[in-house]
Amino acid sequence: MNKKDRRDHAGNDDPKHNRQHKRTDRVAQQDRTEQALLTGTKSTFELRDLYNVLHPAGRVMELVDQGAEIHVERRRTVDRDGREHFGIAHYSLIKRRPRKEQ
């Protein structure tokens, strides 16, 4: 599969989207996870597919360790290929992590 096909498959054909999700380090994924949750509840699938967060559960755990409060609910969810999965985590941000003092 070439680069364009992979991008189309993931639904990430917007150049702006690709630029802001290019960094794959742990801290960048934590920041993207928190920013995504500010706009509402997100599933594991959404965080992976739309926000390029490879391991959403790990990033959520790290955010909680840093002081964020995140509610987790397990639900039946359909993936982008139409397959039904049971017990997929849906995350809701209750309280942001404290900002680091500069």
Residue 69 has pLDDT above 50, yes or no: yes
Residue 100 located in a structural domain: no
* Least confident among 3-12, 13-22, 31-40, 81-90: 3-12
pLDDT band at 31 (very low <50, low <70, confident <90, very high): very high
Report the number of distinct structural domains present in the chain: 1
* Least confident among 2-16, 38-52, 83-97: 2-16
Q: Cα torsion for 64, 86, 53, 29, to the nearest 10°?
A: 0
- Domain with 41 in it: 3-95
Residue 29 located in a structural domain: yes
Residue 102 located in a structural domain: no
In whole angstroms, how large is the CA radius of gyration of the chain? 14
Residue 20 has pLDDT above 70, yes or no: no
Mean pLDDT, the chain, rounded, equals: 86
